[in-house]
Structure 1
């Protein structure tokens, strides 16, 4: 079983266990809440009965009421007459209670939370006991919300942990493959250089030998590019215009005549901190994608301009276009719309521009059936 399958199973188990635990705690909390609420209601009923019994015995003392009150001192209550006028209150802030508006607000809250308890005196006179949840019960009400927040944070930590492990594993695999590719290319390259030297002594046309040398040099560039993946490349102050034009010229000379190329720049020199080989790789990837999108027929254009701080490189084509929903997805490893392809070109380009060169690369605009424009933003070199 692969690492990714293991982490996926562990993630699902952790999430399932977390949901079960939180569900049990929420159920118990709800049960406690109902129990406490019922208990407080029972206390209020006893309190009302005590007042009613004492009132029926005109010569009686309020010892019973006092004793009952001692048991409910944590439950705020208000006593009103039949007309709703406040007669008495208990367990409220004594200073704030001097303000009648405060008492009215408390009474309104009590009416919303619980049904009043009716007290009937001799002569059918009535009074009502209103009460609200105690502070303890109020805190218990918010406990499930706090628990859900804790669960959310817990799941977020689990997600980030597994995601970081997955990314680290992908980066390790990617780096290993890149360096192994560079190593494998290096062996035949050395042999080819020897064969070129022999060809030069055999009176072979310089034109043919020169083309072979160019392709060998190209293979050496590719090997160097792969060898730099996974390590921090060296950046130097370079002319972004000339480097872009170099990659552009190489692909133009090797592309179909049915594709029209155009290159323009507002200035001849626009310097940025660049790694020549990796930056050229990005430009080539964008041009190759443009050619694939046009299926070998159309036009590719590159325009370079700048503002006070940044260099802007726009690569446009007249291909099939990209749906807006895929503008960000196309930069993810493995995503491709081609029948043949690994979906690494744009992902690698994004990593080179944003991670290594601290720039930006994104889809500037795209229309289905009309074409796509990618833009690269780089900071100018001082």
Structure 2
């Protein structure tokens, strides 16, 4: 198991390193291409400036200006000519519908001044400056590295989720193996205890004591069966949920503080559903023990079972400290606990047992701070 974790970790680091190198190379090539393309645009604008200067300063109208005119016609880079004092003259390749707007022109001129150095020309006998901004293609190219980084982030996120899920799967296998091994280890002394209980029944001992010991031994056997079922698909059988719930309720009532008031109510003595007795009992036990802890050993715990045409509803209520509404879903996550002791697995296991194994639902029906909480379990009738 340790070697597999090492391999997993090394593989993740290698993929991240390779991804970083690839992206770095792409970003570097993009930067080189950007600088080269920007330099080519500068050269085009210098050619445009020269052609404009030649056309404006040539007095002979019969002179051959075909090349210069062709350069001027083929220029697609937005530019503005200004005088020495900054007043705007000619405008090229800007939105024709807005060139009459001085605010638009000043805004475009400000962008051009930020992006590129002006080109000085002698035009029509006076000094002027040509300001230009990057072409649309070059501007799109500036956003390419950002898009690439976002794609890399998404890619690394997918990698992280993949390896994290693999790690969680390996951890689940480890916990499953430990649970089954625990059940196996409990089995040996449990068999011995069963033998001792049989012997005690033949001795001159108060049989009430022996009966209570036998209940605890049976309880250990149930716990061992629960652990043995972790990680495997449990066998569901048609059972009377009223009887099973009441047995667990009575067992916990007899072993709890007398300061806790227990109440069990049901609309019918028989309600049948397909459940696994050990695992369902684990859920009820978790809810009752959590209720007692929430009340700090003093208060009231009640179970109310009702039904409709299709479902059975089990309500477990207490008069404890309550749960904030913001944590109604969070309490079912593995590791969440408000206790000084405990791993925060009880409600997580309960949710898995009810929803994954029994195809039912479990959730916080209502809760008020310092007044109490009610959990609701829904199971389908058979």
Quote the offset at 1:341 in angstroms.
2.4
Aligned length: 368
Name the CA shift for 1:309/1:113 in 2 (closer, same or farther; >3 Å).
farther
Unaligned 5+ runs, structure 2: none
Q: What does residue 65 of structure 2 align with?
A: 62
Quote the offset at 1:279 in angstroms.
0.6
Instruction: Provide the alpha-carbon RMSD of the alignment.
Output: 4.1
Q: Measure the CA separation in 2 of the matches of 1:122 and 1:84.
A: 12
Contact 1:110 1:132 in 2 (8 A): no
Unaligned 5+ runs, structure 1: 91-96
The 5-angstrom pairing of residues 1-382 of structure 1 reads 22=23, 25-26=26-27, 29-30=30-31, 32-57=33-58, 58-65=61-68, 68=71, 75=76, 114=112, 122=124, 133-135=135-137, 137-306=138-307, 309-324=310-325, 326-378=327-379, 380-382=380-382
Q: Measure the CA separation in 2 of the matches of 1:239 and 1:140.
A: 70
Quote the offset at 1:223 in angstroms.
1.2
Name the CA shift for 1:155/1:53 in 2 (closer, same or farther; >3 Å).
same
Contact 1:37 1:133 in 2 (8 A): no
Secondary structure class of the residue paired with 1:232: coil
TM-score in terms of structure 1 length: 0.77
Contact 2:186 2:224 in 1 (8 A): yes
Name the CA shift for 1:126/1:138 in 2 (closer, same or farther; >3 Å).
closer
Q: Measure the CA separation in 2 of the matches of 1:376 and 1:253.
A: 24
Q: Measure the CA separation in 2 of the matches of 1:309 and 1:60.
A: 97
Secondary structure class of the residue paired with 1:61: coil
Contact 1:237 1:381 in 2 (8 A): no
Q: Measure the CA separation in 1 of the matches of 2:132 and 2:310.
A: 69
Quote the offset at 1:192 in angstroms.
2.3
Give deviations 1:122-156, integer Å, cap 9, x for gaps. 48799989776244x25423422431232122212
Contact 1:118 1:129 in 2 (8 A): no
Name the CA shift for 1:61/1:309 in 2 (closer, same or farther; >3 Å).
farther
TM-score in terms of structure 2 length: 0.77
